[in-house]
Amino acid sequence: MSRHIPKVSVVFPVKNEGKNVKMTLDSLFNVKTNVEVEAILVDDSSTDDGFAFLPTYEHKQKVIYVRAEGVGPSVARNLGAEAAHYPYIAFCDAHMTFEHFWLDRLVYPLASGVTDAVCPAIGSLEDPSIVGYGQSLTPSLKIKWNPRGRGLFETAILPGACIVMKKETFDDIGGFEPGFYSWGHEDVEISIKLWLFGYRCHCDPTVTILHLFRTAHPYSVNYEGIYYNLMRMAYLHFDDARIERAKSLIVHGSSIKIDRKVLQDGVLQKRTEYMKKRKTSIDTLFKKFSIYF
């Protein structure tokens, strides 16, 4: 029977999370599960003491520590995936808690072929009655949470707080966008990419994990980086009209400057490669989920 036990690598990108790291790992290892788990902590140049507990941590044999040099959350997740040993991979924020058998229930629809990537319901650590069920996009490409669906249901966007898929699926799509050098849009981009490449994304509303929602990041985030990621995502996946619409969303900087930098960084070559892998169009995807952008 042991050979049938699912094995999951759980990747946590971390930057100045303080005590949240241990809180998250304690929850991961203390909830009941029949899944074999390894935790991969990607320390993206933290300057706090959030990892001080690791040398004497009771579950340290199940923890892999990876040091990164300010690569941003998208590349940090990819580095974690490179260190993963198991056939299933989960990407979670390092400020959350879990419930019993959460991974077991999320892996099941993947193993049975019902879906290709899945997220749980995500509640607030401070007020667990506030829960979102996957996400979609507004006409200005802002995130909006879905209401609860009946059973496993399709979702346009998998929230970056928790995404689970087979490692082979992750590798096939090329992981998180390696050209994102800072925070912003990484979960939206990988969700769109999954759908466009023919994969299915679902939310399981019967599984709930709790997430610390913050009003500020414990590291610097700037508009230029967010807009750069927006335009890189647009060039990778949108049609020409939507690319122009994305430019109009840049209101706190120079759209010309950001556009020029994105193009200089070789996005059009990657766009061509992605077009060859597509199984559907961005227009079809947005119509499917009533995204009016």
Write down the pTM of the prediction.
0.94
**In the predicted structure, residue 39 carries a pLDDT above the cut 50:** yes
71 and 193 housed in the same domain: yes
pLDDT at 223: 85
pLDDT value of position 268: 98
Q: Which of 207, 175, 211, 179 is nearest to 193 (CA)?
A: 175
Helix (H, G, I), strand (E, B) or coil at 26: helix
Q: What does the block give as tokens for 170?
A: 């992750």
Together in a domain, 118 and 182: yes
**Domain ranges, residue 247:** 223-288
Question: Are 67 and 143 found together in one domain?
Answer: yes
Residue 29: the pLDDT is 98
Count: domains in the chain: 2
pLDDT band at 1 (very low <50, low <70, confident <90, very high): very low
What is the pLDDT at residue 267? 97
**DSSP per-residue string spanning 269-286:** HHHHHHHHH-SS-HHHHH
> In the predicted model, is pLDDT for residue 180 greater than 60?
yes
Mean pLDDT in residue range 255-259: 94
Among residues 164, 182, 211, which one ends one of the domains? Answer: 211
Per-residue pLDDT band at 177 (split at 50, 70, 90): very high
Q: Are residues 105 and 163 in the same domain?
A: yes
Do 179 and 259 belong together in one domain? no
Whether 219 shows a pLDDT value over 80: the answer reads no
Domain boundary among 211, 246, 272: 211
Give pLDDT tens digits for 136-172: 999 999 999 999 998 999 999 999 999 999 999 999 9
What is the pLDDT, as a whole number, of residue 224? Answer: 87
Q: What percent of the chain has pLDDT over 70?
A: 96
Q: Are residues 136 and 238 in the same domain?
A: no
Same domain, 83 and 145: yes
pLDDT tens digit string along 193-217? 999 999 999 999 999 999 998 766 6
Does a structural domain hold residue 69?
Answer: yes
In 3D space, the residue among 200, 209, 164, 211 whose CA is nearest the CA of residue 279 turns out to be 200
**Two tokens at 263?**
């193009």
pLDDT of residue 210: 98
Residues 174 and 258 in one domain: no
Is the predicted pLDDT of residue 48 greater than 90, yes or no?
yes
102-147 tens-digit pLDDT: 999 999 999 999 999 999 999 999 999 999 999 999 999 999 999 9
Mean pLDDT value of segment 256-262: 95
pLDDT of residue 3: 57
* Domain-located, residue 216: no
Q: Please name the residues in contact with 151: beta carbons below 8 A apart, sequence gap of 6 or more.
A: 205, 206
The reply to whether 107 and 159 lie within a common domain is yes
> Could you tell me if residue 108 is inside a domain?
yes
Q: Give the single-character DSSP code of 55.
A: G
Task: Based on the fold, state whether residues 165 and 38 are members of the same structural domain.
Answer: yes
**What are the tokens at 276?**
């060859």
Q: Which of 211, 231, 262 is the last residue of a domain?
A: 211
> In this structure, what CATH number is given to the domain that contains residue 170?
3.90.550.10
Q: Are residues 194 and 237 in the same domain?
A: no
Is residue 2 predicted with pLDDT exceeding 50? no
